[in-house]
Structure formats: C-alpha cells, structure tokens
Amino acid sequence: MADQIIEFSGFSSPKRTKQILDEKRKQASQVRGLMKAFVLATISSDTPEFLDSLTYSQLASRVALAEKIIEVQQAMRAIEPTNVTLQIIDPEEESNKEKVSAARHDASKSEGAAGYNDPIAQKLWGMRQ
C-alpha cells in the first residue's frame, strides 16, 4: 500500500510529478487561481487557505481592495497611475468584438482591398500565421 501511495503522490516518478505540477499550473491559471494570486501579491496578511475559505463574491471584494491598494501605493510614491486591474476575459464577448471589428473593416474597405481575415494580408503585415 505504501508503494501505491508513493507512486500516486509522484515522489518516485518524474512523469507523475510533471503531471501533477502541470495540473496545478492549469488550476492556478483559472479565474479563481488568478484572483488569489492577485490578492496574495498585494495583501501580505492573506493566506491561500484564507482565500480558499471565501465565497466568490468575498474573493472578488478582496481583488477590488487589492486594486485600490496598488492605486494608493502608486499615489504615495508619486508614480503615475497604471490602472492595474485583474482583467477577466469572456471568450464570447471577445468573439463578438472580433465579429464587429471584422464587419466594420469589411464595410469600410475600398474596392480591391484585403478583407479583415485575409490570410495573405495578415502574413504580409506580420500578424497571425
């Protein structure tokens, strides 16, 4: 049984250790993990365990407080405000913005000009591949 525990924990297998680490990195990159990292970088008295005990709304309040702390710290040090905020990107909203931008471009382009998603034009401009 001890061998199974060691194998599952990843201590004896570099492959399993890497799998566990990659899984934890993925979790840390999700919204809640990013929110926790933002707060922990700003509010030194908070702990990961404390933040895990908060509801989503309470954690969002801590993120908003962390943003204000950064703003105040910049003002106290006479640093030009950088408006540091945790941006949550909604893929659906981004897709809609892309569609609107494409429609505007295609509606305003002159005859013979490349369309918004023209792959040759994008390659020439060094954009998407």
**Same domain flag for 97 and 45:** no
**Same domain flag for 69 and 27:** yes
Domain span at 100:
91-124
Q: 86 in a domain, yes or no?
A: no
Mean predicted confidence (pLDDT) in 86-104: 83
Q: Which residue has the higher pLDDT, 128 or 36?
A: 36
Q: Which residue has the tokens 């908060």?
A: 54
**Same domain flag for 60 and 102:** no
Q: For 99-127, what is each residue's pLDDT tens digit?
A: 888 788 777 777 777 777 777 877 777 76
106 in Cβ contact with 116 (< 8 Å): yes
Measured N-to-C along each axis, helices 31-42 and 14-28 cross at an angle, to the nearest 10 degrees, of 80
Q: 102 in a domain, yes or no?
A: yes
Q: 108 in a domain, yes or no?
A: yes
User: What is the value of pTM for the model shown?
Assistant: 0.61
Q: 83 in a domain, yes or no?
A: no
d(C-alpha 107, C-alpha 92), whole Å: 23
Taken as a whole, the chain contains a residue count of: 129
The whole-number pLDDT of residue 129 equals 46
Question: Collapsing DSSP states into helix, strand and coil, what is residue 29?
Answer: coil
